[in-house]
Structure 1
Amino acid sequence: MLFERPSDDTLYDALIARDPGYDGLAYVGVTSTGIFCRLTCAARKPKRENVRFFDTTAECLHAGFRPCRRCRPMMGTGAPEPLVATLLDALDREPERRWLEVDVVAMGFDASTVRRAFRRRFGMSFLEMARLRRIGKAVAHLAEGDSVVDAQLDAGFSSGSGFRAAVTRLLGETPARLRGKAMLKADWIETPIGPMIAIADLHALHILEFLERKALATEVRKLQAATGSAIAFGRSAPIDRIEAELAAYFAGRSADFATRLAPLGTSFEQQVWGGLRRITVGTTATYSGLAADIGNPAAVRAVGRANGANPIAVVIPCHRVVGAAGDLTGYGGGLWRKRWLLEHERRMAVGRGAGPLS
């Protein structure tokens, strides 16, 4: 399941040779132009120091690169469905546009059909892809020295507070309703694979999720109902600590997490989450194996549900659970992130020399 990507030097040689055997295996981002390409692109070849290699087009978009108009890497291998090709063309023409579902319908497409077609081909919806293109363009503007306000406007936020306003709606509180309530704090944590939101009280971390996770709003509402607490932007000691630990993790220095956790879940879910934390870094487990580990081998489906209900990503490593055949199966943060995390941890374990990190 875990495919070891060739070295960057090997991929660069393939890029120079336009080797078709590497087409779709990886993608190259050119830092001097902000564009990403197939390895077989016919464009003038960049210098070695100006390239970064990625496993998926989603990673390229997250890193702020835009697709090459010449080799059209978003088309993937093989001819895409006509509706996919049409919408990709439209997105190429208007990458700054804040695309909505009504725009897709206005072009004569069924929204659910488009959603399924894009997820089959790219692992993300058309609207998710459009959002990444928009944010990537804003990042490019910032790198060119544009003001933060200009970048926010390019990303589709009408004011400097727009991003926070969107999350304030998610958290469901206004200042007038905070008076007299116990308080939880929420803040952003930037990572190489996208921003996360952390929610904690003074003593423990309750939620750590990638912002795209669809269950995030439900998790927040459950936490508020269970604790009777309001949530406001701010920092607490657990958020500061988990941010430092995540920085060490993503830098490949350590996979040790000592932040106190308080995920909201049933006793069975807590059992499963404890089992997840026992899976060694650099390895994976199956759902049946995890069920056996917690002493309930018949509860494979229940283990799967508990795995999906995990509200603390990365630290409680639900990404380390795979299907019986070694397939990646689902992941709330997106399959491309699951693959990235597993490969990152595999490299950490190999780099340790004395054995896998624990």
Structure 2
Amino acid sequence: MIQPDFTLAASVQTLPTPRTMYRALSRRDPAYEGVFFTGVKTTGIFCRPTCKAKRPRAENVEFFPTVTEALHGGYRPCRLCRPMDGTRPVPPLVERLRRAAEAAADGRVTDKDLAAMGVEPTTARRQFKAYHGMTFHAYQRARRMGLALREVKAGKPVIAVQLDRGYESTSGFREAFARVFGAPPRGAKAAACLLARRMETPLGTMLALADDAGLRLLEFVDRRGLERELVGLRRRLKCAIVPGNHAILDQTAVQLSEYFSGLRTEFTIPLAPVGSEFQGRVWSELGRIPPGHTRSYAEMAQRLGIPKGPRAIGRANGSNMLALVIPCHRVINADGTLNGYAGGLWRKQRLLEHERKYAS
């Protein structure tokens, strides 16, 4: 991961004050979607801030930063607002901010620019962070560095890149570049980076990382251990992670949409998984499980010629960083029960039901 500018994984979140959240709940304020969830003590359910159910009393609610924490608090999802089902569309202001950053000559939108757009900077920061989990300025800094690396690798003079990206100080540009990519601009032609994009699905937001080799990671953003995976990828590939565009990311977004729409049951995205030789064997075998079918860990072990290795199979499954496209969700216990899915057993159940529905 890039630190401190671009944190892709969810970290400990600081909630607004209870008074602020209750006021947002009372107003059903969409600006707070994704910022908090409300647990209602009298009903045992948890809701989105915009839920249309009758407003509970202030003394009967408690607030959580994530779905996971609400579940750990003993609450079940509301059937009206369905906080775990589907994802909200990109808020218009967030989309407007992203487009403004892409259109800016140097990739930078200042508070003065926001004011000229009629946008209150504090509102922009709150909504962008609520949706993306990172500030708008952090997004811009990471994107500018990613564009700078691409231009340096293409042979553009460093001083021209520095000025084009809005850095007036040569030393400041050099330090910022080295902090992200581990090398000064002049030595960066061989530097690598993974391009990152968040993608919305009916089962929650996913994070995709890709480079020219293929898709490296596709995970639900609330997956246990995602931050550790990002650190490991960055270390093993000796690369940085920056937001950006890539043809493989475009392909991934299209095929995810087709998958959840029932138009496709298998993926044809170029993959470049990072793992050991044994893990690679397990992942290849996972790809042979037909959609709509499942196998037990013991069956997997038999097929791989290691009949005493179900536990090793389980560990390799857990190391898979390409959810859905390498279908580790199709492996279950011998008795037919579900087990071992870092994205959550509820997602595993939904994925299997979805595939059974459309595989035929």
TM bucket, shorter chain: 0.5 to 0.7
Amino acid at match of 1:68: A
Q: Decide whether the 8 Å contact of 1:203 with 1:238 is kept in 2.
A: no
Could you tell me which runs of 5 or more consecutive residues in structure 1 were left unpaired when the two chains were aligned.
1-33, 35-56, 73-85, 100-113, 125-131, 350-355
How high is the sequence identity, in percent, across the aligned residues? 36
Q: Does the 8 Å contact 1:263/1:312 carry over to 2? A: yes
Distance 1:264 1:140, change over 3 A: closer
2:126 corresponds, among 129, 137, 153, to 153
Q: What is the deviation of 1:265? A: 1.0
What count of residue pairs does the alignment treat as equivalent? 246
User: 2: distance between equivalents of 1:276 and 1:87?
Assistant: 49
Say whether 1:199 aligns with 2:196. no
Q: Deviations over 1:216-249 (max 9, x none)?
A: 1221222222221222111222211111111110
Query: Secondary structure, in 3 states, of the residue corresponding to 1:248?
Result: helix
C-alpha distance in structure 1 between counterparts of 2:330 and 2:353, whole Å: 11
Aligned equivalent of 1:90, options 58, 62, 75: 62
The letter of the residue matching 1:66 is C
**Which of 50, 53, 57 matches 1:68?**
53
Q: 1:174 and 1:214, CA in 2 relative to 1: closer, same or farther beyond 3 A?
A: farther
Please list, as runs of the form range in 1=range in 2, the aligned pairs for 1:4-19 lying within 5 A after superposition.
none
Q: Secondary structure at the match of 2:307?
A: coil
1:219 lines up with 2:243 in the alignment: no
Q: Could you tell me which amino acid in structure 2 is paired with residue 235 of structure 1? A: N
Amino acid at match of 1:160: F
Q: Distance in 2 between matches of 1:161 and 1:228?
A: 25
Shift of 1:213: 1.2
TM-superposed CA distance for 1:89, in Å, is 2.1
Shift in CA distance, 234/329, structure 1 to aligned 2, threshold 3 Å: same
Alignment of 1:1-358 (within 5 A): 66=51, 68-69=53-54, 89-91=61-63, 118-119=71-72, 121=74, 142=91, 150=123, 153=126, 156=130, 159-161=135-137, 175-176=177-178, 177-178=180-181, 179=185, 180=188, 181-349=191-359, 356=360
Q: Give the Å deviation of 1:165.
A: 8.3
Taking the aligned partners of 2:342 and 2:124, their CA distance within structure 1 comes to 28
Gaps of 5+ in 2: 1-29, 31-44, 78-82, 98-118, 145-174
CA distance in 2, matches of 1:330, 1:69: 37
Q: Is the 8 A contact 1:203 1:237 kept in 2?
A: no
Aligned AA for 2:51?
Answer: R
For residues 239 and 134 of structure 2, the distance between their equivalents in structure 1, rounded to whole angstroms, comes to 30
1:158 positional shift: 8.7
Distance, in Å, in 2 between the alignment partners of 1:141 and 1:183 is 26
Q: CA deviation at 1:90?
A: 2.1
Counterparts of 1:87 and 1:260 in 2: how far apart (Å)? Answer: 52
Report the equivalent of 1:53.
Answer: none
Shift of 1:141: 11
- In structure 2, C-alpha distance between the alignment counterparts of 1:296 and 1:222, rounded to whole Å: 27
SS of the residue aligned with 2:201?
Answer: coil
Q: Structure 1, residues 20-69: CA drift from partner, whole Å, max 9, x if none?
A: xxxxxxxxxxxxxx9xxxxxxxxxxxxxxxxxxxxxx78x85xx863734
| Cα pair distance change 1:331/1:123, threshold 3 Å | farther
Amino acid at match of 1:269: Q
When structure 1 is superposed on structure 2, of 224-233 and 305-314 the one drifting more is: 224-233
Contact 2:124 2:136 (8 Å CA) reproduced: no
Equivalent position of 1:128 in the other structure: none
Matching residue of 1:28: none
